[in-house]
Amino acid sequence: MACVSFAKLNAPSSSWIGGQQSLPQRSGSSARLATRRVSLPIRAGAYTDELIKTAKTIASPGRGILAIDESNATCGKRLSSIGLDNTEPNRQAYRQLLLTTPGLGEYISGAILFEETLYQSTTDGKKFVDVLHDQKIVPGIKVDKGLVPLPGSNNESWCQGLDGLSSRSAEYYKQVSIPCGPSALAVKEAAWGLARYAAISQDNGLVPIVEPEILLDGDHPIERTLEVAEKVWAEVFYYLAENNVIFEGILLKPSMVTPGAEHKERANPETIAKYTLTMLKRRVPPAVPGIMFLSGGQSEMEATLNLHAMNQSPNPWHVSFSYARALQNTVLKTWQGRPENVEAAQKALLVRAKANSLAQLGKYSAEGESEEAKKGMFVKGYTY
């Protein structure tokens, strides 16, 4: 499980994570279903108005989330792809490149950080959290305790993290894969864990981002993905309601409904939009302010095209993005770890951020996209 919190826009950097009561751990599952959780400080009861306000700030027109909450190990794999060692100074340099990009706040409303990044500063000594605040970007924090086996399931696992929520603030992360399940146990445990996470977050002034991810692994058709997604989301919203979660004060981060990555037939953006919106309309109440899709290994351009296709007519919710690789792939390869390439890499980030901003508004065109943006990034069994 991963733990993430978004801070209030006006919160001082020294106190942006609210205190929380420690609660016993509730196991969740990952039949390779990825359920992630992110929180933004504010909440139910005394926090209700502020909670709703912050959720709407994240779900604002033409803006989405930059996810840079990869663990140090995963960040290290990305750095090694450009010949850099996985050291704290190299991770700091890369995150500084991303977070100090001029004009980023025009297209990005929230940034999910890994725990290490929360305490880092720029080379000039300015805290990254303050850099984000200056651009009106809501910062979030992820704390991941790792995967453990789920007893009695189809060889599935769950990510820990509800325990110690008081010292973290939460993004609860699980994964479900279609080929090996998901088992009824995995779905129930994932849904219950997500609901408890959301309720605890709201009780402590946090806006939870609930993220069940159906992984691309497998050769199944898009109809099977829709079937599994509807089953998972039905359970999630049942338990959210059982735990008295305020729907107006949460954000969702699902995967798009696509065929399995190894399926013989690829689906076009219009088909993916049709199936994804069908699932959302059947399962997600219109009270939820925002749907922030993850890219799940799609190419940069593919993720943008699919988002664009979903915004060709009005939706009950703000339909946007919370991308990691689909915003960073070209940036990383442009940078190559060289100081002289920082400006070019930041411009590459703005290109991708603007493209997805336009897609959120239904105004994106793929004309002029680079070959790099067209390359798929699916990795079988990928973990964050």
Distance CA 129, CA 118 (A): 7
Pairing of strands 2-6, 64-68: unpaired
| Identified catalytic residue from 253, 300, 302, 369 | 253
Phi-psi region of 48 (alpha: psi -120 to 50; beta: other; left: phi over 0): alpha
Has 211 been annotated as catalytic?
Answer: yes
Pairing of strands 290-293, 318-323: parallel
Has 372 been annotated as catalytic?
Answer: no
121 phi and psi angles, rounded to 5 deg: -130, 170
106 phi and psi angles, rounded to 5 deg: -70, -30
Quick count: other Cβ atoms within 10 Å of Cβ 18?
20
Distance CA 64, CA 94 (A): 20
Helix (DSSP H) and strand (DSSP E) numbers for the chain: 11, 12
| Identified catalytic residue from 171, 211, 235, 300 | 211
What ranges make up the beta strands (E) of 69-156? 108-114, 138-144, 147-149
Reported as type and span, the H/E element at residue 78 is helix 72-80
Contacts of 165 (CB under 8 A, 6+ apart): 3, 20, 22, 23, 197, 200, 201, 204
What's the farthest any 2 CA atoms get from each other in the chain? Answer: 54
Q: Look at residues 169, 212, 172 and name the one whose alpha carbon lies nearest to residue 42.
A: 169
Q: Are 54 and 8 in contact (CB under 8 A)?
A: yes
Pairing of strands 174-176, 32-38: antiparallel
Tokens 């880092």 belong to residue = 120
Quick count: other Cβ atoms within 10 Å of Cβ 119?
11
Q: Which residues are catalytic?
A: 211, 253
